[in-house]
Structure 1
Amino acid sequence: GGDSHPLIYMPLTLTGFAVIQNGTTGAVIDSYQVDVNVTANATGNATVGIAAQVSLNASDFSVPAINSSNSDADEGIKYLNITNTTSLENVTMIRIVFYYADFELSGLDEKTISFYYWDSNTSTWLNAMKYVGKNLTPSGPTVYDAGRNTAENYVYIVVDHFSIYGLGASVYGGGGSVYGGGGHVAPQIVPRTGIVRITRPMYVGLVRQFNYFDRRFYNAPQPLWGTLASIGAYWAPVEQAEDLNPITHPHDIEDLLGDVYRIASQAVLEEKPGGAGTVIISRGDLGVDSIAATAYAEVHHMPILLVEPASIPAETADALQRLGARSTVIIGGHEAVSEELVPQLPNATRIWGADRYWTAVRLAEELTKEVHVDTVVVTDGLDPEGTAVMVASYYDAPIVYVKGDEVPEPTRQFLQTHSFKKVILVEVSDTAAEEIKSII
């Protein structure tokens, strides 16, 4: 499924029939619009017939279109009515893949596209990505997994029965002002291009813009922020919990307080049950290096574990072993992570500079060599802002540092050398912001 295709006429009807051997998974529908794979239980074969209809119009299925009044999306893209024409005896799970073409996005932000379920009891479209491991409704499907693959243009859901579904997404926006523009550029906080200044009070608006309603947010100390981002979770300002919790429910802000080495190890092991081939190692007494590694970690799918500058805590050593790590990437110089630790780490390499400012730039340079980077995030290296981590994670953007009112030489060189579509300044002073504006 998922081959590129011209504009098609809707509605489209697809049917499939298959006998799935016990304990295996097989395809019942395989098309450029929808794939359906069924898993049979271990005790018996599953004889499965499926009928699926795809339409651009929700009214074809007697339901309203996805919009901001009945969902957490701004707009619906297309809809799927999928039913079984045989019993579902011996069926344990059903994986539905819904493909989309670039032209179907029509100005919507691809990173917000989600699989939605129509709840007729509440007349609401529910975002399935918020319900992984739960029932969508008391009598509705159980969601075993859900996600998106923007590289291959599909969204998927793994459930236990069929229903009416839809694809929805949000427009690129959320409210805010562009630095130097003297006014608002509604409806977006981070625009498509330009220099933008962000402050902590904008945090909830950014969660809305990024459609991060399905993410987990924690009240955690700074050294954990990079680790959290590397596994798809984020620090959040507790003073905004009252506004944030309702939109991320049932994932309210939780406290992650205590030993950062133990917490980081536990969080990574829980999120990576299948292990990790390469792990990033960063100092745990300060957060500046792991924060700077946010985008590098995400792009390479590497979790971040923490060590003391001169020793490896037992929890970290245990996590490395249980993850089955075959290699490690140390962030920071010898004062951040001692050279004496290198023999204790599997196949260790190091990305570092003379100080936190150079180390951040070295990470940024490595990232720009390996992937296309059109956005950079700048925050204060004396006290990095947690909002910068969430923004950098969303855009796969490197984080570089200013030093109070000063723009350090490595940061200056990096900004002068590269041309970015977006330069996002997070809690940067007026003086430093003006200097950055003159640099770029």
Structure 2
Amino acid sequence: MSDLLHGERVLLGVSGGIAAYKAADLVRRLREAGAEVRVVMTEGAQRFVAPLTFQALSGHPVRSSLWDEHAEAAMGHIELARWATRVLVAPASADALARLAHGLAGDLLGTLCLATDAPLAVAPAMNRRMWAHPATQANLATLRARGVAVLGPAEGDQACGEVGAGRMLEPTQIVAALAMLRADATRLAGRRVLITAGPTCEDIDPVRYIGNRSSGKMGFALAEAAAAMGAETTLVAGPVALATPAGVSRVDVRSAAQMREAVLAALPGQDLFIAAAAVADYAPAQAAADKIKKTGESLTLALVRTPDILAEVAARADRPFTVGFAAETREVEAYARDKLVRKRLDMIAANRVGLPGLGFEADDNALSVYWADGGAEIGVAPKPLVARRLLQLIADRMEHRAA
């Protein structure tokens, strides 16, 4: 572990929360991984852990105020901002996330995050209800759209006595995540990646539609990760309420036919196509011009197959490396491998849907990934981390094929 972060200069921001005690061990783990660490504490953080603890562990004085006359004689906050090769806020409280999202610079940590060119990562830690609150989720969406890496949180027992999402990742997990970000920063550099995400809606009439369940979170996480790994990334998205990831070109569509048109238009020159969208399998043969009135005990709809976008892309002579998704309720491997062969895919990522806390609308996922002569498991983790691991597998297979 001694060289995972060798040469990195990590500016660790510690915000107010009970998880601040974990940040002390995090400093030790970062240094063990080869990083040099300097610590900035908010006023709230100092109520949980004394600055002297971080000074002893990091080997550097702790900074906490914009109004430190000695440190600021030479514009110390700008010097710190320039020094860092990576900024990490851990724990990142709900308040800290809100301040970062709104660009507030009323304290030293907020000022440093605005003044640095170094990549920013946050490790959230808060009560499960605070984590789930729409305001917190909106702030996270804003940060992700700016390219901020969100590490965690984990689920489990909380200091307040509740159980759920909101625990800060363990220090070893944070170090591993930072090492992954570092290693992957240019893994897809020079590659062009096309991803589909979300559902499609096939209109029955002006107020009703049929479609498949999908929040789009997995596909958007893949687009965010691909861009972070250096790829020129295009995202074709069905109707979802998600912010566009930083560095991603987005095309919004509604129906399967529109998604097909957008995919085929963007396909030339792509190196990788990932079909993460939950495209509706059938559409009404004819959408009614006006709302259909409820006049009988039953209603019969004539449905027709929608275009199979994934199979069409995979069948092209100039196809990119093609990855499909399979959401199954049983016999996951059998159905996924059948789809892999039948549609002539390079890889397929499958998951069992309907399990509590995974898949549809959830923040976590787990995938079984298959290719012609092998496979791998991606265990339960937040979707951004699952996306990163899947792209690592894809990059491995692309490099293997090119060798």
**TM-score band (shorter)?**
0.3 to 0.5
> What TM-score does the superposition give when structure 1 sets the normalisation length?
0.31
